[in-house]
Structure 1
Amino acid sequence: MKREYAYCLPVLALLASTGLARAQDITIAVAGPLTGPVATIGEQIKNGAELAAQAINQSGGVNGRNIKVVLYDDACDPKQAVAIANRIVAEGIKFVNGHACSGSSIPASEVYAEADVLMMSPSSSHPTMTDKAAEQGWTTVMRLYGRDDAQGKFIGPWIKQNYGSKKIAILHDKSAYGKGLADVVKASLNASGVKEVFYEGINAGEKDYTAVVNRLKTQGVEFLYFGGYHTEAGLILRQAGDQNYKFQLMMGDSIATPEFGSVAGRAADGTLFTFPPDARDSEAAKGAIAQFQRINFVPEGFTLFSYATIQALAGGIAKAGSTDPKAVAKTLRSANVDTVLGPVTFDDKGDVKDPKYIINVWKDGKYSRLTQ
């Protein structure tokens, strides 16, 4: 008996310092492109999540329990996203901040839904993600970001009013995000009586878009709407500038990163894009902004959406009084939770209610709200 007790004592001590201690934490997986072409977006998601968890823990945690953030890199690749989703489920994690890219979130959401894991994307905008979840009766698929169809309805009338008489082309990068956004903008414009010169997809990841630029130039395109990411958009603009060819470029929210300016150079100036109102200007984000200043990180783009996602998950857990993902998801559909974006709540599909948009313009390597 004594030998057995002596043997068990260090084991109990080990459990106390590892497994039992970890059981006190509420683990939230953060899944996004930490590497790859859009890694700057992953950096925004990462920093937003980590600092939100830090602030929550310093304020006493959630019902006395700390938030623990664990990072997973999907490189914005659908196959990697599914593999990571399966890994997160296997590790017993019940809450996910992610994924970032729609092409990753849509297939990963199926894995989470079947395992009753609550995923909340801070940036994925393709309607299919929550539409499919609603059709299947999956309640644990959510997003803290506006849908492409809402963004398209906002921007279509604006393009018609300001550029409806110009020669308009629409391109996309064939991704779920890029094509999805281009589709809704095209539909909105066509419904208002504006017809584009042409609508096509390009191959993402290439370094030479001279053929694309030549096509735009030959067709006399004056306004280009591009559904895709900042890397391809920046190259198209730069290579058009090399030919002294200028057109008005407009995009969705993916170019809210300084890397766009680095890729496009001076050609970036004047580029327009839609994005929700900048939360950095709100009183609710004041404390968070101070946190980011201490680490010398500018919380632009999706940073504060990721911060808010952690807050929303934590707030849902606190109000539900439970870490059961279904109970938390149900609570979030009926109760407001406070975030750096202000109070948020979700509809029956799991989409954030009442998303707002503004138009931003790039100039001198940074962007600001368009005033006109």
Structure 2
Amino acid sequence: MRRPLALAAALALALSFPAHAEVLIGVAGPMSGKLAWTGTQLKRGAEMAVAQINAAGGVLGEQVRLIVADDFCDPQQAVAAARKLVADRAVFVVGHYCSGASIPASKIYAAAGVLQISPSSTNPTLTEQGHANVFRVCSRDDAQGLKAGNYLADHWGTKKVAILHDDTTYGKGLAEETKKQLNKRGVTEAIYQSYEPGKDDYSAEIADLQTAGIAVLYLGGYHTEAALMVRAARERAFPVQVISGDDTATEAFGLIAGPAAEGTLFTFVADPRRNAEAAEVVERFRAENFEPDSWTLHSYGAAEVWAQAARKAGSLEPHKVIAALRNHAFETVLGRIDFDEKGDLTVQNWVWYVWKGGEYVPLE
């Protein structure tokens, strides 16, 4: 059963809004470091949403101002970023990107009564904690791992499978969910181990897999390391099939991997750029020479949902907005959004993609 927002925190936050003041919201993610490409997507998505909201008259007559926080995809930095956003009186936060950042940050927002909607944190723990103020507009890793485990069993059940992860909340969690389903299907992986993230070269790890006769490698981790691994495999003429998760859905993977990206498989949510509801917004991004791939439109959609919920609630007070989120459906660039009692999407939708000709496309 959900715990209600702390009354004192909610009232204090509500009383902090002077009449006719601008409304402050935050976007938090890795704005620097190896995942800065993704942080830029979150920032651009939120910026575009705020611009569109303000152009349409704001929210309940108030203009919206965006505050950007850099969490470096690091748990401690995420807590610091969350505290800063709370201190700045943000009423709502789009973020964080990494599950390992979102989960500790969520405790800060919960204590302060600040609404958090993650566009991209997929680890189940985020919404299993029972915080009433936490939502996400992406699907969960237990559903993603189920799809990946079944695919491995169906297509490589008689071959040698390796599962590697980077030991992060996201990477390890996704690898464990995939392994769990693979094992349920009666297939035991030949190798299950972690690798050190942040290295410049993974040729030694790939050489070990080649020596072991691995046919398919499942990677639980981020796109930077995945790209370096597929490059190392192709440089050794090692025809291992590389499969990974949703973080592979970014142009940065293709830029790092180069031609070696070809044929890499991964799961990602249904690409919102293909939604009719998103066509106008996608064109606005492209007019600015920015391709809204990966989680850009999810960041936009998170802000869009908040604005719609505030209008339905007739209030900017977080506990009233949260009630509206639970009691209404929302039409967004991501399509129709309904939340369950945990703050998750009622429909989990993972799709297979393949890197082909320098871009990722749905697997036929």
String of CA shifts for 1:36-94, please: whole Å, max 9, x gaps: 10111111111111111111111222222222211111111111111011111111112
1:160 counterpart residue number? 153
1:38 pairs with 2:35: yes
- 2:222 partner amino acid: Y
- 1:299 partner amino acid: P
1:131 counterpart residue number? 128
Could you say what the CA RMSD is over the residues aligned between the two structures, in angstroms?
A: 1.5
Aligned-partner SS, 1:27:
strand
Q: Distance in 2 between matches of 1:93 and 1:303?
A: 21
Decide which of 301, 311, 317 is 1:324's aligned counterpart.
317
Aligned-partner SS, 2:68:
strand
- 1:352 partner amino acid: L
Decide which of 137, 141, 154 is 1:148's aligned counterpart.
141
1:288 pairs with 2:281: yes
Q: Distance in 2 between matches of 1:344 and 1:78?
A: 28
1:214 pairs with 2:177: no
1:20–1:342 Cα change, 3 Å: closer
Q: Distance in 2 between matches of 1:70 and 1:270?
A: 39
2:11 counterpart residue number? none
1:47 pairs with 2:44: yes
Q: CA deviation at 1:139?
A: 0.4
- 1:67 partner amino acid: V
1:104 pairs with 2:75: no
String of CA shifts for 1:135-181, please: whole Å, max 9, x gaps: xxx20011111110011122222221122122110000111000010
1:38–1:156 Cα change, 3 Å: same
Decide which of 332, 350, 354 is 2:347's aligned counterpart.
354
Contact 2:95 2:102 in 1 (8 A): yes
1:334 counterpart residue number? 327
1:224 pairs with 2:217: yes
Q: Distance in 2 between matches of 1:216 and 1:26?
A: 53
Larger radius of gyration: 1
1:186 pairs with 2:210: no
Q: CA deviation at 1:23?
A: 5.1
String of CA shifts for 1:15-48, please: whole Å, max 9, x gaps: xxxx999953221100011111011111111111
- 2:92 partner amino acid: F
Decide which of 248, 254, 263 is 1:270's aligned counterpart.
263
Contact 2:78 2:101 in 1 (8 A): yes
- 1:83 partner amino acid: A
1:41–1:22 Cα change, 3 Å: farther
Give percent identity, aligned residues only: 45
- 2:196 partner amino acid: N
1:74 counterpart residue number? 71
Q: CA deviation at 1:201?
A: 0.6
Please report the TM-score for the alignment, with normalisation by the length of structure 1.
0.91
Aligned-partner SS, 2:337:
coil
1:95–1:244 Cα change, 3 Å: same
Q: Distance in 1 between matches of 2:347 and 2:110?
A: 24
Q: Distance in 2 between matches of 1:21 and 1:362?
A: 50
1:91 pairs with 2:84: no
Listed as ranges, the gaps of 5+ residues in structure 1 are 1-18
1:307 counterpart residue number? 300
String of CA shifts for 1:258-309, please: whole Å, max 9, x gaps: 1111211211100001111111111110221121122111111001100100
Q: Distance in 2 between matches of 1:20 and 1:344?
A: 28
String of CA shifts for 1:190-232, please: whole Å, max 9, x gaps: 0011110010010100112122112211110010110001111
Aligned-partner SS, 2:135:
strand
- 1:298 partner amino acid: E
Q: CA deviation at 1:364?
A: 2.4
Q: Distance in 2 between matches of 1:167 and 1:50?
A: 46
1:345 counterpart residue number? 338
Q: Distance in 2 between matches of 1:125 and 1:22?
A: 37
Q: Distance in 2 between matches of 1:312 and 1:225?
A: 34
Aligned-partner SS, 2:335:
coil
Aligned-partner SS, 2:260:
helix
String of CA shifts for 1:234-281, please: whole Å, max 9, x gaps: 111111222111210011100111111121121110000111111111
1:175–1:20 Cα change, 3 Å: closer
Please report the TM-score for the alignment, with normalisation by the length of structure 2.
0.93
Q: Distance in 2 between matches of 1:148 and 1:209?
A: 25
